[in-house]
Amino acid sequence: MNCGSTSAVCLRGLAAVLLVAAVSAQGQMTPAATPGATTNPMLPSFEVATIKPAMGGVAGFVTTSGGRMKCAFCNLDMLLFYAFDVQPYQIVGAPEWGHHADGYSIDAIPPDSSELRNLKLSSPTSALTNEQREMLKSLLMERFQLKFHRESEIGAVYVLTRGNGELKLHAPKDKDSSPAVWMSNDGLTGQNASMPMLVVRLSGILQRPVLDESGLSGSFDFKSALFGVDPKAEYQDIVASILTSVQEMGLKLKASKGPVETIVIDHIERPSPN
């Protein structure tokens, strides 16, 4: 997906891409790798990984007991977002073919030495661990010949804080449910969701980093009914609606300046399937 403009259609497309997958609760980037490196012995790797072309379908990651990771119909954009734990606007230089709906199905198993092999799940989850993200990054460097470097500069950000109104965040109805935050024309909805998860979702919609200074810990259910924007609305109208929705929940987003990190793709190739 190539979003060179800030149109509502593009923003919604980006949000939809991210919605099919769980967002890391931390929302932080991993330590910098050597610029331009294709391999990094410091990164953990999958023991076995298959990559096959896939056309169409519902895209998303699944993790099962033992740390096995599967990705269905994932294009390059999604693989990069997950590997580096960043938002679409933080990836620069990805090739045009990486934005297409057609992508890859990946099935990867960690080595016996990984703590992931002891992972026990009552049901599959789409959340990736930090180690899985590192392994996915290693896979991209090995099989896609990925070379990259990081850049950081001070730019526009939003800061999430407590507002002046009543805090409309509720204890989760089901603490065992999969954490999720999603948006629709009806508003912003959270299920067993933390504030770090909320700021990652907001960052993807607003196309700016969102910093959590709310001081709120734990997970919540919430629903804001004031989002409601026309699909053809201008970017400024979408931002205004989000600010109102957040305020309705007893929170506040304020514009500020802060570090904005970017992953710059220096080289990448289509993988050979296996």
Extract the tokens encoding 43: 């990164």
Q: Which of 70, 141, 67 is nearest to 110 (CA)?
A: 67
Parse the chain into domains and list their residue ranges: 29-148, 152-259
- 104 by DSSP, 3-state: which? strand
Count of C-beta atoms within a 10 Å radius of residue 248: 20
Kindly report whether the global pTM for this prediction surpasses the value 0.75. Answer: no
H or E element at residue 107? strand 103-109
Q: From first to last of its 274 residues, what are the pLDDT tens digits of the chain?
A: 334 333 333 433 333 333 333 333 333 333 333 344 444 558 999 999 999 998 877 788 889 999 999 999 999 999 999 999 888 889 999 999 999 877 899 999 999 999 999 988 877 877 788 999 999 999 999 999 999 999 999 999 999 999 988 999 999 999 888 788 888 777 789 999 999 999 998 998 898 999 999 999 999 999 986 655 565 667 777 788 888 889 989 999 999 999 999 999 999 999 976 7
Backbone φ, ψ for residue 38 (5° rounding): -100, -20
Query: Is residue 8 within 8 Å of residue 234, measured between CB atoms?
Result: yes
